[in-house]
Amino acid sequence: MKPRGGVCLLAGVAAFAAFQAPAQPYPSKPIRVIVAIAAGSPTDIMMRTAGQQLLGPLGQSLVIENRPGGNQVIGAEACARSAPDGYTFCVVTNTAISVNPHIISKLSYEPDRDFKPVTALWFLINGLVATASLPANSVKELQALAATRPGSLNFATQGSGTGPDIFRQWLNEQWNTNIVGIPYKGANLIMNALIAGEIHFSRIAPLGDYVAVQMKAGKVKLLAVGTSKRLAQFPDVPTYAEAGLDGFPEKTWWGLFAPAGTPDAMVRRIHSEFVRLFHEPKFAAYLESQVVEPAITSPEEFATFLKEDRERAGQTVKKYNVPRQ
């Protein structure tokens, strides 16, 4: 029998070389980002802008994949079922993570089990926007109209249990009336409906240049804004508090998630790039122009926030008798 020492030595050297070979840098291919809202919506546009800014630092593109509808179940489920390989992330709101577990009986995902929090992105600063033909030029006039014509005014939502729909129910409670909810798949579609006069009013966010252009063109009216002080873009528009709308318990946020099981190192890399981007003066100014409140957090802080937010959502759902689906 011939000695096998040389063969074993060569095999050992090969194995050692393979062990010593540097790991492939991450990311090494484009990253898919599922956005649970229609293309052209404000969050979709902001994520595409972020992707353009991150192309250089990451060396790879963020490929936005819109999965709107179903109270964001469609987008959230697509994310939860994706391979946890660091090449799929998703952007969803409190509707998908905090509200749906309380209102959907057979939810196809479980927030704590199926997702890994990366960071909160932003809170939406919203406003009460009405179609130009609505015979009300202030919140007070709108309230009087709703009170005298219960069941005749409609309000665009993004489905039962979403922030706009809960806001509609809150208005009904506050004003002792019956404003009818009409579901749409995104804020851009709601704006189009308002411009066309298909919808009487809605709570729209964020309030960027597009709303200002439509106001100037006489297509829509901005009756109030959900901020602590008046916005520089709309100095003549009162805040919710000034208009008598203070006290609504829900605040809409968008956050970045990965499928559960995604390696921590990959999550940290993406997180660090978003932190860096949000602190760049030009991008911060861009977010301000889109009228959103940046909310970047650590993954751990975001996870803690999510648990608290889901508890608050449960209380709100119970209070306003949001029907279980």
* pLDDT, greater one: 249 or 153: 153
* pLDDT, greater one: 209 or 201: 201
State the first-to-last Cα distance of the chain, in angstroms, to the nearest integer: 74
pLDDT at residue 46, as a whole number: 95
Model confidence pLDDT, tens digit, residues 68-126: 988 899 999 999 999 999 999 999 999 999 999 999 999 999 999 999 999 999 998 88
- Tokens representing 300 are 């751990």
Out of 170-184, 187-201, 206-220, pick the least confident.
Answer: 206-220
pLDDT at residue 23, as a whole number: 65
User: Which pLDDT band, with edges at 50, 70 and 90, does 320 fall under?
Assistant: confident
Strand partners, 253: 123
Helix axis angle, 264-278 to 281-289, nearest 10°: 80
Distance, CA of 106 to CA of 32 (rounded, Å):
27
pLDDT cut 90: percent of the chain above it: 69
User: Which residue matches tokens 């404000």?
Assistant: 42
Contact, 119 vs 299, CB < 8 A? yes
pLDDT cut 70: percent of the chain above it: 92
Q: Is the pLDDT of residue 17 over 70?
A: no
pLDDT at residue 161, as a whole number: 73
- Tokens representing 73 are 């179940």
- Tokens representing 79 are 């994310």
Q: Is the pLDDT of residue 208 over 80?
A: no
Q: How much is the average pLDDT of 54-67?
A: 97
Q: Is the pLDDT of residue 13 over 80?
A: no
CA dist 282 to 53, 164, 279, Å?
A: 10, 31, 9
Question: Distance of alpha carbon 112 from its chain centroid, rounded?
Answer: 18
Enumerate the H helices of 123-239 as residue ranges.
139-148, 163-175, 187-196, 209-216
Q: Is the pLDDT of residue 9 over 50?
A: no
Q: How high does pLDDT run on average in the chain?
A: 90
pLDDT at residue 128, as a whole number: 94
User: Which pLDDT band, with edges at 50, 70 and 90, does 49 fall under?
Assistant: very high
pLDDT at residue 96, as a whole number: 96
Model confidence pLDDT, tens digit, residues 121-145: 999 888 999 999 999 999 999 999 9
Domains of the chain and any CATH numbers: 31-124+252-319 (3.40.190.150), 127-243 (3.40.190.10)
Model confidence pLDDT, tens digit, residues 224-277: 998 888 888 889 999 999 999 988 867 889 999 999 999 999 999 999 999 999
* pLDDT, greater one: 83 or 8: 83
